[in-house]
Structures are given as C-alpha cells and as structure tokens.
Structure 1
Amino acid sequence: MIAKGSEPWLFTAASVTALFAILSRATDSLPFFNHAAYMGMALTFFMVIFFRDPERKVEVSDAYMISPADGTIIDIRDRKICIFMFLQNVHVNRAPISGKIREITYKKGGYLPAFCKDSERNERNEFLIHSKYGDVQVTQIAGTIARRIVTYSSVNDTVEQGQRIGMIRFGSRVDVTIPHDFDITVCKGERVLAGKTVIATIKNDRNF
C-alpha cells in the first residue's frame, strides 16, 4: 500500500522516467537519455519504497500506548518521547491512543536536522488528542530534508488507537507526550514501530 499524499511525487518520478525512456529509444546516439531513464527508474523505485504504508494489525487497548511513528527513540524527557524517523523508516504516523482530536496546530519554522535540540524551532504540526486519561500531544516535526507535513485527520475527529493521522515526507521526527497515568516502558536508543510497539503501560493502581 502506498501512503496517502504521496501520489504527486510518484506520478512525477514515473512520468519523468517514461519521458527519458521514450527519448532514449528515439535518440540512440545520445546515451544521456538512456542513463537518465535508468536513474529515473531508480528514483521511482526509491519513492515506492519510501512511501510504502504497510497494513498493520493493531491490538487496541486502554492498558497501554503505542508508538506513533517508526524510528529510533532519541530522547525521553519531561514525559515526552522523541522518535527520529530515518529515510528507510515508514513515514506514516498513527494515533498512540484512542480519543478525540481537540486541536491541530500548524507552526511555521526552520528546517534544522530533526535530531538537534534547536529543531524545536522547526516547522511542525501538533495534534492534541483528548483521551480518557487526559490530553496527549503528538507533534510532527519537519527536518532538513522533510519539508512537507501531510495531515489525514481533522479537529473533532474521533480516532482509534493505531489509526493513521498523517505523514512527514523524507525523514523527520515525532514527539508524543505521556499522561501521568502511564509508566514509560521504552528507553533511549530503542527502535519502535508505529501501531505496534508499546511505549507506555497503565499504572497498576488504575482500573480500565
């Protein structure tokens, strides 16, 4: 499955590749077009791999929160987990908990590397999800290469845990806040999968 919002990129790459392939056949004496066609094929293949959006069976539960993104945890502070998405990761983001989207706030900013502390000033999109345990903020942060944040959800939408809520193109970062009713179960440096990896579990003194 290809991620929603990636169609223009794939169409452009495929169209340019087809054009160079046609020119290559029409002008055998110009190897440039032949080389360009092969490069276009490689680019199109990369786009297909990058914009993949595999189906994942999500075990929905109030007993835990799941990762909103694929990637590596680069920081955990003030009950906020920061996940860096490398180019090879799936870039579709999912709801870490079930609830209702109260706010979606887009903020303009720079394009510093998403793993830097100064990336707090980068372009971002903030989801505020109201769950039965309080508000959870999921923040999509653009990086040096990633300069386009795509939103799949709207304010007042009710989302189920693991539901797709958006995507960031070409490497970036996702932060998620953890309510005090949960214990964080992951650590810095750990690799996580959106919709699959449990990042926090409900405290034993809470009933659900």
Structure 2
Amino acid sequence: MSLVDTVRNAFVPIHKEGYPFIGAFGVVTLLLGLFSTNLFWIGLILTAWCAYFFRDPVRVTPTDDRLVISPADGVVSSVGPGIPPRELGLGSGEMTRISVFMNVFSCHVNRAPVRGRITKIEHRPGKFLNAELDKASEENERNGLVIESPNGVVAAVQVAGLVARRIVCWAETGGNIAIGERFGLIRFGSRVDVFLPKTVTARVAVGQTAVAGETVIAEFGGPAATPLVRID
C-alpha cells in the first residue's frame, strides 16, 4: 500500500457543509476553556463529534443498472409498499418503498440510488417527528428527487427527523446523476425513502445496516452479474 493510500485510509474527508459548524463548536470550546477545564473537555468532545458527523468517506459503488444502491448510511427501517409524496407527481398508486434511518452517529451524506436524469426536485415544509416513525414520511419536512432511470422512475426522498432542522440538496433538475453520486445531506438525524417500481426485488431486510453508495438494497430483472464499480 502506498503512502497516499495509507493517509487516505487514516483520515476520512470532511464535507465542506460541516466546516462552519465545526468552526463554531471549536470557538465555543475555546471560550468555555476560559472558565472551566471540565467545560473545555466537554466542548472538545462535542467538536470531535461534529467533525465525525460531517465525514464524507470514499465509497466503492457497483455500477450495474439492475442494482439499486442505498442512498444513506444507517439501519433499514421499512421494506414494503408505500405511496410516494403527492408533490412528486408519481400518482396515488403504491410503489415499493425502502427506508434507511440515520442516527446522529451515521454519515449523513446522501447518494443517488440509481443513475439517470433528474426530472423533478420538490421541497415540502413539515414537522420534525422522530424519523423512525412511519408517519414521518407523510408529515415531516422533506425533499424529493425524481430520477428517470434505465429501469423506470425512481424517487429518493430526504426526510428530516426529530433533531434534523436542515435538508441540503445540491442536485439540479434536468441534470444527470450517476449511481452513488452525492446529492445532498441532512443535519442531524433523519431518513431517506426510496420509491421504486413494484417489479423490483428487495435485497435488504428491516433491521439490516446499510452503507450509502455500496449496499445493494434492490434489484431489477434477473440476477445481476458481478458489476463494475466506481470509487468516490
């Protein structure tokens, strides 16, 4: 292993969205240190957690069009039929919904579950219920992407949670997105719902841990061969 690979593996990159928060935590920690050593150490621990929260590790993504990849790190909280959000214009019929819940220790950078063209992005204000609750998909603040993939329409919906107060999405309507490509981030605890055609076969179960950009959560058509991968 080269020195470059060793350094890359030892230090996980931090997403730029986290810099202002890490900086603010650091400044507060220094100020607390002027009054109390104990408060300084508490602040230092919280600053380290903030940096850990905004980590953006390299991922190895399968690129076979028959595969659907997890858009988030976390635990699979739901696998089954679900009606997509009305604002996405996908009709009132049921689709296959797979949800991944992220807690405050999960990596919160979200990645595209399939490749294709982004035909719609819709944000809807809402509540901040516990994202593990099923009704959070309908009542919480959310941001949805509709992707026209080689196998049909797929939607990825970022859902804010009890602690999360900000959904960030840097994808653009009309643009193309690659499978596993970063498209957004949620601060600080939340979930992502993926709505898929009912013809897919789910490849995960409730309670399973998923890794964004790597874990296969569903599959179109027949069994996929060993796919090529992209690393980023």
Q: 2: CA distance between counterparts of 1:7 and 1:159?
A: 25
Gaps of 5+ in 1: 25-31
Shift of residue 2, structure 1, vs aligned partner? 0.9
How many Å apart are 1:205 and its aligned residue? 9.4
Work out the CA distance in 1 between the residues paired with 2:186 and 2:113: 16
Q: Which deviations, in whole Å up to 9, do the C-alpha atoms of 1:118-138 show, x marking residues without a partner?
A: 312000000111111111110
User: 2:135 is paired with a residue of what secondary structure?
Assistant: helix
Q: Residue 9 of structure 1 is aligned with which of 17, 21, 43?
A: 21
Q: Which residue of 2 aligns with 1:192?
A: 210
Which residue, 57, 73, 78 being the options, matches 1:75? 78
Shift in Å at residue 75 of structure 1? 1.1
The range that moved more, 95-104 or 176-185, is: 176-185
Q: Is it true that 1:161 corresponds to 2:193 in the alignment? A: no
- 2:64 and 2:223 map into 1 onto residues whose CA distance is 17
The answer on whether the counterparts of 1:64 and 1:182 sit within 8 Å (CA) in structure 2 is no
In the alignment of these two chains, the number of paired residues is 197
**Residue in structure 2 matching 1:53, options 43, 51, 56:** 56
Match of 1:147, as an amino acid?
Answer: R
- CA distance in 2 between partners of 1:81 and 1:118 (Å): 14
Q: Give TM-score scaled by structure 2 length.
A: 0.80
Structure 1-normalised TM-score? 0.89
What is aligned with 1:203?
Answer: 221
- Unmatched tracts of structure 2, length 5 or more: 1-12, 82-95, 225-232
- State the distance in 2 between where 1:56 and 1:116 align: 29
Alpha-carbon separation, structure 2, partners of 1:205 and 1:199: 13
Structure-2 residue corresponding to 1:29: none
Whether the 8 Å contact between 1:178 and 1:184 is mirrored in structure 2 is no
Q: Tell me, yes or no, if structure 1 residue 101 matches structure 2 residue 101.
A: no
Deviation at 1:194, TM superposition (A): 0.5
Which one-letter code corresponds to 1:43 in the other structure?
L
Distance 2:160 2:148 in 1: 24
Pairwise CA RMSD: 1.6
* Cα displacement string for residues 22-80 of structure 1 (whole angstroms, at most 9, x for unaligned residues): xx3xxxxxxx3323222221111010111111011222111211111111111112110
Give the percent of matched residue pairs that are identical in Structure 1 and Structure 2: 39
The whole-number CA distance in structure 2 between the counterparts of 1:156 and 1:129 is: 10
CA distance in 2, matches of 1:63, 1:92: 23
Asked if 1 retains the 8 angstrom alpha-carbon contact of 2:151 and 2:220, the reply is no
Q: CA deviation at 1:181?
A: 4.3
Note closer, same or farther for the CA distance 1:196–1:205 as it changes in structure 2 (3 Å cut): closer
The structural deviation recorded for 1:165 is 0.6
Of the three residues 101, 117, 141, the one matched with 2:134 is: 117
Asked if the contact 1:82–1:173 (Cα under 8 Å) also holds between the matched residues in 2, the reply is: yes
User: Structure 2 residue aligned with 1:91, among 108, 116, 138?
Assistant: 108
Please state if 1:150 is matched with 2:153: no
